[in-house]
Amino acid sequence: MLYCVEMEVNIPETWDEEKIKDYITREQATSQKYQKSGEWVYLWRVAGQYSNISILNVESPDELHKILTELPLFPYMDITVKSLCKHPNAIRESMI
Amino acid sequence: MLYCVEMEVNIPETWDEEKIKDYITREQATSQKYQKSGEWVYLWRVAGQYSNISILNVESPDELHKILTELPLFPYMDITVKSLCKHPNAIRESMI
Amino acid sequence: MLYCVEMEVNIPETWDEEKIKDYITREQATSQKYQKSGEWVYLWRVAGQYSNISILNVESPDELHKILTELPLFPYMDITVKSLCKHPNAIRESMI
Amino acid sequence: MLYCVEMEVNIPETWDEEKIKDYITREQATSQKYQKSGEWVYLWRVAGQYSNISILNVESPDELHKILTELPLFPYMDITVKSLCKHPNAIRESMI
Amino acid sequence: MLYCVEMEVNIPETWDEEKIKDYITREQATSQKYQKSGEWVYLWRVAGQYSNISILNVESPDELHKILTELPLFPYMDITVKSLCKHPNAIRESMI
Amino acid sequence: MLYCVEMEVNIPETWDEEKIKDYITREQATSQKYQKSGEWVYLWRVAGQYSNISILNVESPDELHKILTELPLFPYMDITVKSLCKHPNAIRESMI
Amino acid sequence: MLYCVEMEVNIPETWDEEKIKDYITREQATSQKYQKSGEWVYLWRVAGQYSNISILNVESPDELHKILTELPLFPYMDITVKSLCKHPNAIRESMI
Amino acid sequence: MLYCVEMEVNIPETWDEEKIKDYITREQATSQKYQKSGEWVYLWRVAGQYSNISILNVESPDELHKILTELPLFPYMDITVKSLCKHPNAIRESMI
Amino acid sequence: MLYCVEMEVNIPETWDEEKIKDYITREQATSQKYQKSGEWVYLWRVAGQYSNISILNVESPDELHKILTELPLFPYMDITVKSLCKHPNAIRESMI
Amino acid sequence: MLYCVEMEVNIPETWDEEKIKDYITREQATSQKYQKSGEWVYLWRVAGQYSNISILNVESPDELHKILTELPLFPYMDITVKSLCKHPNAIRESMI
- 3-state class (DSSP) for residue F46: strand
| Exposure string over I4-14, b if 16+ CB within 10 A, otherwise e | bbbbebebeee
The per-residue pLDDT for D17 is 86
Whether chain J lies against chain E with 3 or more Cβ pairs closer than 8 A is no
CA distance A13 to chain B (A): 22
- Closest-CA residue of chain J to I69: J48
Average pLDDT over residues A2-8: 98
Diameter over CA atoms, chain H: 49
Work out the average pLDDT over E51-74.
97
Report how far residue F6's alpha carbon sits from residue E4's, in angstroms, rounded to the nearest whole number: 11
Confidence of residue F90 (pLDDT cuts 50, 70, 90): very high
- pLDDT above 90 for E17: no
Distance from CA of B58 to the nearest CA of J (A): 11
F46/E90 Cβ within 8 A: no
Subunit partners of chain B (3 or more CB pairs within 8 A) = A, C, H, J
Q: Cβ neighbours of residue F61 under 8 Å, at least 6 residues apart?
A: G1, G2, G83, G84, G85, I47, I48
> Exposed (0-12), middle (13-18) or buried (19+): which is J52, by Cβ within 10 Å?
buried
Does chain E reach chain H with at least 3 CB pairs under 8 Å? no
- Which of chain I's residues have a Cβ under 8 Å away from the Cβ of H84? 61
Taking residue A17's Cβ as centre, other Cβ atoms within 10 Å add up to 7
B88: chain A residues, CB-CB within 8 Å? 28, 45
Inter-chain contact H74–G50, Cβ cutoff 8 Å? yes
Q: Which residues in chain D touch residue E5, judged by CB atoms under 8 angstroms apart?
A: none
Whole-number Å distance between alpha carbons of F95 and I33: 44
How many angstroms separate the CA of residue F85 from the nearest CA in chain D?
28
Q: Give D29-77 pLDDT, tens digit per residue.
A: 999 999 999 999 999 999 999 999 999 999 999 999 999 999 999 999 9
Best mutation target among G53, G69, G84 (most E Cβ atoms within 10 Å) is: G69
Determine the distance in angstroms separating the CA of D53 from the nearest CA of chain C, rounded to an integer.
8
Contact E26, F62 (CB under 8 A): no
Q: Give G87's contacts in chain I (Cβ within 8 Å).
A: 43-45, 52
Q: Bigger pLDDT: F14 or J89?
A: J89
Contacts of A81 (CB under 8 A, 6+ apart): A3, A4, A5, A64, C82, C83, D46, D47, D48, D49
* Cβ contact, residue pair H62, G47, below 8 Å: yes
How much is the average pLDDT of A72-91? Answer: 96
Nearest CA to E39 out of E21, E59, E53 is that of: E59
**E48 contacts G81? CB cut-off 8 A:** yes
Average pLDDT estimate for J42-59? 97
Residue C55 sits at the chain B interface (C-beta within 8 Å): no
> Average model confidence (pLDDT) for chain C?
96
E43-to-E5, E35, F46, F66, G56 alpha-carbon distances in Å: 10, 9, 18, 26, 25
Per residue in G10-42, pLDDT tens? 998 888 889 999 999 999 999 999 999 999 999
For the stretch E2-14, pLDDT in tens is 999 999 999 988 8
Q: Does I11 touch chain F (CB under 8 A)?
A: yes
H69 Cβ under 8 Å from any chain I Cβ: no
* F84, burial (CB in 10 Å: exposed 0-12, middle 13-18, buried 19+): buried
- Using CA atoms, how far apart are residues A56 and A96, in angstroms rounded to an integer? 10
Helix (H) or strand (E) segment spanning residue H3: strand H2-9
Provide, as residue numbers in chain B, all residues whose Cβ is less than 8 Å from the Cβ of J65. 85
Nearest-CA distance C17 → chain E (Å): 12
Q: What would the DSSP string read from start to end of J26-91? A: HHHHHHHHHHHTTSEEEEEEETTSSEEEEEEE-SSHHHHHHHHHHSTTGGGEEEEEEEEEE-TT--
pLDDT one digit per residue (tens) for chain B, 96 residues: 999 999 999 998 888 889 999 999 999 999 999 999 999 999 999 999 999 999 999 999 999 999 999 999 999 999 999 999 999 999 999 999
Measured in angstroms, the CA of I92 and the nearest CA of chain G are apart by: 8
**Secondary structure class of I47 (helix, strand, coil):** coil
Residue I81: beta bridge partners? I5
Go through D5-14 and write b for each residue having 16 or more CB atoms within 10 A of its CB, e for each that does not. bbbebebeee
Question: What's the gap in Å between the CA of H44 and the closest CA on chain J?
Answer: 5
Against chain J, the chains showing at least 3 CB pairs within 8 Å are A, B, H, I
By C-alpha distance, the chain J residue nearest H33 is: J91
Burial of E15 (0-12, 13-18, 19+ CB in 10 A): middle
Q: Where are the domains of chain D?
A: 2-84
F6: left (phi over 0), alpha (psi -120 to 50) or beta: beta
* Encoded amino acid at F17, one letter: E
Cα–Cα nearest to E28, from E16, E45, E5: E45
Does an H or E element contain A46, and which? strand A40-46
Closest Cα in chain C to A64: C85
What burial class does residue B8 get, using C-beta atoms within 10 Å of its C-beta: 0-12 exposed, 13-18 middle, 19+ buried? middle
Least confident of F24-28, H84-88, I8-12: I8-12
Predicted confidence band of residue H35 (pLDDT cuts 50, 70, 90): very high
Class of domain F2-84: alpha beta
- CB-based contact E14 C13, cutoff 8 Å: yes
For I73: left if phi > 0, alpha if psi spans -120 to 50, otherwise beta; the answer is alpha
**If residue D45 lies in a helix (H) or strand (E), which one and from where to where?**
strand D40-46
Residues of chain C with pLDDT under 50: none
B82 to chain A, minimum CA–CA distance in Å? 6
Enumerate residues 6+ apart whose C-beta is below 8 A from H65. G45, G47, G48, I85
Answer whether F3 sits within 8 Å of I45, measured CB to CB: no
- In the prediction, which pLDDT does D35 show? 98
What is the torsion angle, in degrees rounded to the nearest 10, for the CA atoms of residue F95, residue F96, residue G2 and residue G8?
-60
**Chain I, nearest residue to F58 by Cα:** I47
Percent of chain F with pLDDT over 90: 92
* Cβ neighbours of B96 (radius 10 Å): 12
Residue-wise pLDDT for I27-49, tens only, equals: 999 999 999 999 999 999 999 99
Cα–Cα distance for residue pair C53/C80, rounded to 1 Å: 9
- G-chain CB neighbours of E13 within 8 Å are 12, 14, 76
Nearest partner of H5 among H71, H81, H57, judged by Cα:
H81
Residues comprising chain D, all counted: 96
Cα C89 from Cα D7, distance rounded (Å)? 14
- pLDDT for res E38: 98
d(CA J35, CA A86): 46
For residue A34, which residues of chain D lie inside 8 Å, CB to CB?
none
Say if the Cβ atoms of D45 and A65 lie within 8 Å.
Answer: yes
Q: Please answer whether residues E53 and E44 qualify as being in contact, where contact means their C-beta atoms are separated by less than 8 angstroms.
A: yes
**Could you tell me if D73 and D22 are in contact, meaning their C-beta atoms sit under 8 angstroms apart?**
no
Give the separation between CA A45 and CA B82, rounded to whole angstroms.
Answer: 10
Confidence of residue J14 (pLDDT cuts 50, 70, 90): confident
Alpha carbon J53 to its chain's center: 7
Residues of A in contact with D47 (CB under 8 A): 3, 61-62, 64-65, 81
Whole-Å CA distances, E29 to E37, E46, H8 = 12, 20, 43
Contacts of residue E57, Cβ cutoff 8 Å, sequence gap at least 6: E1, E2, E38, E39, E41, E96
* pLDDT the model gives residue D55: 98
Mean pLDDT of all residues in E23-41: 98
Number of Cβ atoms within 10 Å of the Cβ of D55: 21
CB contacts, 8 Å: I12 with chain J: 13
F71 touches chain I (CB under 8 A): no
Chain E adjacent subunits, 3+ CB pairs under 8 A: C, D, F, G
Q: Which of I13, I69, I70 to mutate to test the interface with J (most CBs of J within 10 A)?
A: I69
